Amino acid sequence: IKAENLYKQINDSKGYIATANDDWQKGTYGVGNEEAPVVINLHMGEYRINRINELVEELIEKKGKEGDLIEKNDMKRIQHDVKSNEAIEWMKIIRKVINDIKSDPNEVLDKPCEERLNILEHWNEEYDTESRGAVEFEEVWKEVLGQVFGSAFGHSFWHELMKETGILQEYHYYFDGIILNKTKYDLFFQNTDYLDRDEVVKRGVRTVACREDDKDKKWGEKNHVLMGNVWFNFMLPRWLGYDYEVKGGMKGNRNTVCQGNSFRNYGRKSGFAPSLRFLSDMGENEIETCLPGGATGRRWSRYYLNEEYWLGERFCYKKLEL
């Protein structure tokens, strides 16, 4: 493919360019090049890119009023953002059905169930490690998808798909679209006990609220990850310190700017998380970077682990020599 035929953007009118595994070729910015060769045939959705655009636009407006420039610290905050646009869309429906459940005189819920409903209802749609609402939402999300697509494809098949593959983690946007745009996809709901989308969500919310599973768990406890030594691959005893479990778990999820989720993929432990944080001001000859794990593979080096940098907002500075 000749370079001149590839999709490109130069000095975009918005004043910035952003991507996040989205369908940028068709024009996130409304300036798609339909004649360019197809390089993305199945993108990972628009939740993250929309959130990034929102944050950048807020910064542009705020800094413009104050007469300031956007700085690297502003970008650091965006990199660590854990607000979920996916959850915002789902919670519009979930809060409605929670209100229906609470106002229904025929609904009888014990105190633990009511407490879990309240946690979910008042969740701020952020996947921080201390959040209990994030755990409740994820369980409801999986339950509703299981009811709809388990009925369509077979519950055993769907259970295995959720448990042993990363398909939902990568392409959740498309499954969400079927639920959130129910009127366009009535066929999927014809296999459930309820044809009404809100009734399916209500049943999912009620089911999760009255479970004992994951009760009182925080997101960091649910979303934990074990970093393994690349050579020994979890074969050595944990007490030797070659493998390391991230303290407090990871913030973020599949749908947040700061991704952070763990899952199994065809028998292997896998996950999404920042593999490199990188910042640079084009007016300076320096970069700021941060790697998960550490900067060396030597177990007894003090640089073997780098958790306080990667989980926090600390970076390593490097002066570039020209």
CA distances from 305 to 127, 271, 297 (A): 24, 19, 9
User: How does residue 139 score in pLDDT terms, banded at 50, 70 and 90?
Assistant: very high
**CA distance between the termini of the chain:** 33
Average pLDDT, the chain: 84
Q: Percent of the chain beyond pLDDT 70?
A: 89
User: How does residue 193 score in pLDDT terms, banded at 50, 70 and 90?
Assistant: low
The pLDDT, as a whole number, for residue 27 is 53
- 3-class DSSP state for residue 172? helix
What CA–CA distance (Å, rounded) separates 29 from 8?
12
User: Quick one: average pLDDT of 71-97?
Assistant: 94
316: left (phi over 0), alpha (psi -120 to 50) or beta: beta
User: How does residue 192 score in pLDDT terms, banded at 50, 70 and 90?
Assistant: low
What backbone phi and psi angles, to 5 degrees, belong to 141? -55, -45
pLDDT in tens, 26-62: 654 444 556 667 777 788 889 999 999 999 999 999 9
What CA–CA distance (Å, rounded) separates 46 from 156?
30
User: Quick one: average pLDDT of 18-24?
Assistant: 84
pLDDT above 60: residue 183: no
What CA–CA distance (Å, rounded) separates 48 from 18?
10
Identify the residue with better confidence: 211 or 133: 133
What CA–CA distance (Å, rounded) separates 8 from 30?
13
The pLDDT, as a whole number, for residue 30 is 43
The pLDDT, as a whole number, for residue 56 is 95
pLDDT in tens, 237-266: 888 888 877 777 889 999 999 998 888 887
pLDDT in tens, 85-98: 999 999 999 999 99
The pLDDT, as a whole number, for residue 115 is 92
Q: Percent of the chain beyond pLDDT 90?
A: 32
pLDDT above 80: residue 315: no
User: How does residue 194 score in pLDDT terms, banded at 50, 70 and 90?
Assistant: low
Indicate the pTM of the whole model.
0.87
What CA–CA distance (Å, rounded) separates 169 from 269?
13
What CA–CA distance (Å, rounded) separates 134 from 84?
10
